[in-house]
Every structure is written in structure tokens, then in C-alpha cells.
Amino acid sequence: MQIKVVELDQVWRLRQEILWPDRPSSFSQVTGDESAQHFGVWADGDWRAVVSIFETHEGFQLRKLGTQASYRRRGFGRELVQHVLNWCSEKKAADVFLDARIHQVNWYEQGGWVKKGKPFQKYEKAYQRMIYTL
């Protein structure tokens, strides 16, 4: 397993396969992708997980973390998140935020993330804003 920078076309392919398989491919493209930093896990000859980090007016935002189903529970997500947190720390960020799907909140809490505010709805799914202080 290696963590590497991922080209945007591969990011979109992975997001589509992992996060939004029931939506059109354009749904996996978000505003700011061109200026964001994208990292992925390379294992067994292909990309197996992906995450993007965006610099916003609120600070650094971790978005679109996903791991292929057959590669989950191997620590790829944790490794990617830690890589992004280290990257943000090098950029002198004080903290990082994300909007976690509700069913993933506990996973993030186990990694040291803290809830901020109340859950909200987006794209017919429930989310929770979370913060990690560096």
C-alpha cells in the first residue's frame, strides 16, 4: 500500500464507483476540484481509496473520502486521513473540518474528530460537521 497524489480523472472515477454509484458521473465532480489536493491509496495495481482536501474561506476541508468495498477494514481510510492531517499541519493549519455521513460519525470520533453543530441534510443524506484540531 502506498499513498500518492491522484490525478483528477482518477479521483472522479473512484468517487463515482465508491460514493455515488447510483448517480450520474457529473455528480462526482465538485466545485474547486481543480485547485484541491487529492490523495489515494495504491494497492494491488490500482487505486483503492481516495480523499480530497480543499482550502476554503473556513479553512481546510476534508471531502469525499471513500474506499472500495472489497478493501474496507484494512486501515486505508485511517492512513489517508492521517496523511491529509499531516499535510495540513505542514501547511500550518490550526484545524481541519469535514461533513461526515451520519453512519460514519463514530469512525471519525474514534480518530479524534469532534462534532460541531447539529446534523443536517444534503443530497437526501444526513451529515454531521466535525472538526479535528491539529
Domain positions in the chain: 2-133
Ramachandran angles phi, psi of 5, nearest 5°: -70, 140
Look up the CATH number of domain 2-133: 3.40.630.30
Residue among 80, 85, 67, 73 at smallest CA distance from 131: 85
Quote the pLDDT of residue 23.
86
pLDDT at 21 over 90: no
Mean per-residue pLDDT, 60-88:
94
More confident residue, 113 or 71: 113
